[in-house]
Amino acid sequence: MKKVLIVDDSIIARRMIRQLISKWNFEIDEAKNGVEALEKIHTTKYDLVFLDLLMPDINGVEVLEKLAQEHNQTKVVVISADIQETTKAKCKELGAIAFLNKPPKEEELNYVIQQIIS
């Protein structure tokens, strides 16, 4: 079974993503900030990480920076309300493989998962 990590400080957002990806039968783990996310990524091998950007303590861009510094190859899909083109470019530069705006559309999310997982 594929393992995914949902990183978002909002419980509502985590639940929403969990529901949207329910048909994939993933083993789902959650983290509510960047610190927790990095701890989990360092100790568990995830097939995919869904990462929010605007979070307390360590934000999503800092998580991507840290992973890039460590040459960590974990696949990260950013799901953020930040619609700025410069933010999208920064995330791609740091290795995010996709950037979806909140609220993510089910078909869009499924398409990205399909591309990555298969």
Residues in touch with other proteins (CB under 8 A): 9-13, 15-16, 19, 54-56, 80-87, 102-103
Cβ neighbours of 43 (radius 10 Å): 7
Give the residue with the Cβ less far from other proteins, 10 or 110.
10
68: left (phi over 0), alpha (psi -120 to 50) or beta: alpha
- DSSP SS3 for 20: helix
Query: What are 26's two structure tokens?
Result: 């993933």
Which residue number, 3 or 88, has a Cβ lying nearer to other proteins?
A: 88
Q: Is residue 47 within 8 Å of residue 75, measured between CB atoms?
A: yes
Closest approach of Cβ 91 to other proteins, in Å? 12
- Residue 16 CB, shortest distance to other proteins, in Å, is 6
Distance, CA of 42 to CA of 99 (rounded, Å): 22
Q: How far is the CB of 22 from other proteins (least distance, A)?
A: 11
Rounded to the nearest whole angstrom, what is the least distance from the CB of residue 41 to other proteins in the complex? 21
| Between 48 and 82, CB nearer to other proteins | 82
